[in-house]
Amino acid sequence: MDLDYHWSFDFIEPLLVTSHTAKYILVMVEYFSKSIEFVFLSQISLELANKAFFYEILVHFGVLVKILINPR
């Protein structure tokens, strides 16, 4: 995947609590191919979002040029 492709990140919340106590979904979308990664989380925290980003995106796709976020 080219390094110029952009990813966006957002949370879907709140969900019904699952058997693993996941209450939130971190959604990561790659703009060019529309590839989507989902990570189920028990809480919204910077630490958990960083771990999800590292293990689901950086490990599989490499370093990104740009990340778009929706500040609240």
CATH of the domain at 62: 3.30.420.10
What residue ranges in the chain does DSSP mark as E strands? 7-12, 24-30, 36-41, 67-69
Give the model's confidence band at 9: pLDDT under 50 very low, under 70 low, under 90 confident, else very high.
confident
DSSP H or E stretch at residue 49? helix 46-53
Q: Is residue 32 a contact partner of residue 13, using CB atoms and an 8 Å limit? A: no
Specify the amino acid at residue 65.
Answer: V
Give the model's confidence band at 30: pLDDT under 50 very low, under 70 low, under 90 confident, else very high.
confident
What domain count does the chain have? 1
Q: Which domain holds residue 42?
A: 6-69
Q: If you search the block for the tokens 């960083």, which residue do you land on?
A: 50
Is residue 1 in some structural domain? no
- What pTM value is reported for the model? 0.70
Predicted local confidence at residue 59, as pLDDT: 85
Q: Is residue 72 a contact partner of residue 13, using CB atoms and an 8 Å limit? A: no
